[in-house]
Structure 1
């Protein structure tokens, strides 16, 4: 028996699917679609792993502490994210509205809530804003493109992305409160 998503998602799906469909129409522009795919792939982990590994060159004080803090924060975030995703079971827009929304990138699983890509993008931007603010002019546009890509590629609803952003903000704030 397939797990059932909460009824609130049924209502949200109906509200959001048209917006997802309209955003997805932009994918007919090949450069836009290529940019979305690239942002999605970068947000999958490569940029964040590079950011963690670059801490000896980025952090002015205690780079080992930053590596540990960023890694531990990301690890805890992924555990909580997975628990939420597998318990709430909101199907991806391209599954629910398969005739109206096209998926232009392979999905790892069936469920969309919350967006893990967006969660990590926001989390690392907030952490970086405190430890290396000079990187933000590069990271903020990337984080925005990652969030947009998740909806544009048909993988997430807008509310999935917003929830992922809020989770990322919360994990970063908690990490900074504990570890500075």
Structure 2
């Protein structure tokens, strides 16, 4: 919370335990080879799950693709990315938990709301993307394991980089799963997706 003194006693104790467990996890990770290896690539994982390359990549795919089926999947993924950004920003602005003291100010392409820690936006995005490509738009089976390993690695890397506490990542994972369910309920049809792309294209053309 922004002001720890204002936190209720029970919440304060929970946050104390969370900080202590996070500290122990980071300390013991140095003695676990897979986590030590993961820490070496944590910055690359941070960039791989940042919103900027994801939004840019999906929009670029929409522009170069002409398949209605692909447009349906691309528009819904873009919708999911927007939902994730909006929900994370709202929750962070309300909770206002500060990042761990050991966090370094070298995060990739941040905004003011990124000064806050709960929930982890990288964790929520990674889980939402994994849900999307396993439940809503399934990839070939041989791609599923690497996708899940990527999502798990992103979540763990947020702690290893001292970007977040354990509860921040757990909150992000939970939020990402809920976002996947929201997408399944509010799924945009092929016709509506193609109409939205056509409308946006004609609007941009008229303005140009």
TM-score range, shorter chain: 0.7 to 0.9
Task: Return closer, same or farther for 1:143/1:47 CA change in 2, 3 Å cut-off.
Answer: farther
Whether the aligned pair in 1 keeps the contact of 2:38 and 2:153 (CA below 8 Å) is: no
Question: How big is the shift at 1:144?
Answer: 0.4
| Correspondence for 1:4 | 3
* Residue 155 in structure 1 maps to residue 163 in structure 2: yes
Whether the aligned pair in 1 keeps the contact of 2:38 and 2:157 (CA below 8 Å) is: no
* Residue 123 in structure 1 maps to residue 110 in structure 2: no
DSSP-derived class of the 1:133 partner:
coil
DSSP-derived class of the 1:37 partner:
helix
Question: Matched residues in 2 for 1:110 and 1:71: separation?
Answer: 25
DSSP-derived class of the 2:85 partner:
helix
| Correspondence for 1:73 | 80
Whether the aligned pair in 2 keeps the contact of 1:122 and 1:169 (CA below 8 Å) is: yes
Question: Matched residues in 1 for 2:105 and 2:30: separation?
Answer: 11
Task: Return closer, same or farther for 1:17/1:138 CA change in 2, 3 Å cut-off.
Answer: same
Q: Deviations over 1:34-71 (max 9, x none)?
A: 22222222111367448735689xxx971101111110
| Correspondence for 1:44 | 50
* Residue 177 in structure 1 maps to residue 185 in structure 2: yes
DSSP-derived class of the 1:93 partner:
coil
| Correspondence for 1:99 | none
So what's the TM-score if we normalise by structure 1? Answer: 0.79
Whether the aligned pair in 2 keeps the contact of 1:48 and 1:124 (CA below 8 Å) is: no
Question: Matched residues in 2 for 1:164 and 1:149: separation?
Answer: 13
Question: How big is the shift at 1:137?
Answer: 1.5
DSSP-derived class of the 1:155 partner:
coil
Equivalent residue pairs, number = 171
Larger Rg, first or second structure (1 or 2): 2
DSSP-derived class of the 2:115 partner:
coil
Q: Deviations over 1:4-30 (max 9, x none)?
A: 364365322210222221232335987
Whether the aligned pair in 1 keeps the contact of 2:2 and 2:97 (CA below 8 Å) is: no
The unaligned stretches of length 5 or more in structure 2 are 189-208
Whether the aligned pair in 2 keeps the contact of 1:9 and 1:90 (CA below 8 Å) is: no
